[in-house]
Amino acid sequence: MAEARISFLGTGAGNCIHRAHTAIVLDCPDGTRLLLDAGSGNSVLRNGAQLGLYAEDFEHVLLSHRHGDHMGGLPHIQGRRTQMAPNASPLVVHSLEESLAGLQNLFKAVSITHRVDQDSVTTTEGNRVVAWDPAETGQWISLGRHTRASCFPVNHIGGAVGWRVETGGLTIVFSGDTRYSESLVEASQGADVLIHEALTTDDDKEGASRRGHCTAAEAARAAALCGAGQLIITHIDTPFHLNTQALADEARTCYDGPVSVADDLCITTVSSP
Ligand SMILES: [Zn+2]
Ligand SMILES: [Zn+2]
């Protein structure tokens, strides 16, 4: 029986004062480890260490978009990784060109000695420590013996995508940040797990949309329409940190399957039938 493990290292929205920013480790049945978004600051390093997940063990990052709460941790992940495993193969970051350009600018801004160009980040010793892999929506990327991923456009900012990962007979979809998105529904058909953001409830539907996000009801509607096996809500904002029940309750009015709300450091396993 194939089993995947999903470890949430950060589950907070950009302005959340209680939680680390979005970062998820997906351990696939074939041993492939994927980092879905990279949080900010050193939160992936700190929270990862608590779960025995270390930067030097990451090889692939699937980046949803270029907002700081999703990519800001990458220079620190690279720094720790280079320190602990200087001769390791480069950390490969997969995303649309537009998001990678933003990330390259971040590395240029913070790197003192590294060379950052269109292809990679290189140390003064000549080691390539990060490689950029420009993705195209709908195109499959092989990531492991039985693991592949494909990104799809979502409705947030330019270049924002969600990711569909297929591994050992399991399908896991991550929305990244998005308003309600038809393209997500289309790309998520038959997902075993849909990890979807929800900033608020329908009480502030307009505010969520204005900020480029969706409500728990909208996330649940997407889960219902794509036939997801379960819905995990993440990207939690400050008012819902201690009141995630409101998000789950609203989601359950639109979707019959299991609904949960992720917390920092929580781990979910999913098995093929
Ligand atoms: Zn965000
Ligand atoms: Zn965002």
119-155: pLDDT as tens digits: 999 999 999 999 999 999 999 999 999 999 999 999 9
Query: Over the chain (273 residues), what is each successive 10-residue block's mean pLDDT?
Result: 95 97 98 98 98 97 98 97 94 98 96 91 94 98 98 98 97 98 98 98 97 98 98 97 96 98 98 83
Q: What distance in angstroms lies between residue 7's CA and the mean position of ligand 2's atoms? A: 20
Please report which ligand is nearest the Cα atom of 15. Answer: 1
Return the structure tokens found at 190: 């038959």
Strand partners, 161: 153
Decide the pairing of beta strands 259-261 and 115-116.
unpaired
157 CA distance to ligand 2 middle (Å): 7
* CA–CA distances in Å: residue 176 to residues 45, 149, 155, 253: 20, 14, 10, 23
Q: Of the candidates 42, 240, 32, 78, which has an alpha carbon nearest to the alpha carbon of residue 23?
A: 42
Q: What is the reported pLDDT for 43? A: 97
Q: What is the pLDDT of residues 56-96, one digit of tens each?
A: 999 999 999 999 999 999 999 999 999 999 999 999 999 99
Q: What is the pairing mode between strands 147-153 and 141-144?
A: antiparallel
List the structure tokens of 217: 């009801």
- What per-residue confidence (pLDDT) applies to 146? 97
67 CA distance to ligand 2 middle (Å)? 5
- Gap between the Cα atoms of 268 and 273, Å rounded: 16
CB-based contact 35:62 (threshold 8 Å): yes
In angstroms, the CA 197 to CA 234 distance is: 5
Q: Residue 10: its pLDDT value, please?
A: 98
Looking at all shown ligands, the one closest to residue 198's CA atom is 1
Ligand lying closest to the C-alpha of residue 66: 2
Cα(199) to centroid(ligand 1), Å: 9
CA of 135 to the centre of ligand 1 (A): 20
The CA distance from 267 to 273, in Å, is 19
The percent of residues above 90 in pLDDT, for the chain, comes to: 97
Residues in the chain: 273
Please, which contacts does 244-253 make with residues 24 or more away whose CB atoms are closer than 8 Å?
A: 246/201, 246/216, 247/198, 247/201, 247/216, 248/216, 250/201, 250/202, 250/215, 250/216, 250/217, 250/220, 251/198, 251/216, 251/217, 251/219, 251/220, 251/223, 252/220, 253/217, 253/220
Distance 117 CA to ligand 1 centre (A): 26
Q: Which two tokens stand for residue 243?
A: 């009141």
How does strand 91-96 pair with strand 115-116? Answer: unpaired
Ligand lying closest to the C-alpha of residue 234: 1
What is the Å distance from ligand 1's center to 153 Cα? 15
> How many angstroms separate the alpha carbon of residue 97 from the centre of ligand 2?
16
Can you give the pLDDT at residue 257?
Answer: 98
Q: Which ligand is closest in space to the CA of residue 16? A: 1
CA of 272 to the centre of ligand 2 (A): 31
Structural domains of the chain ordered from first start: 3-271 (3.60.15.10)
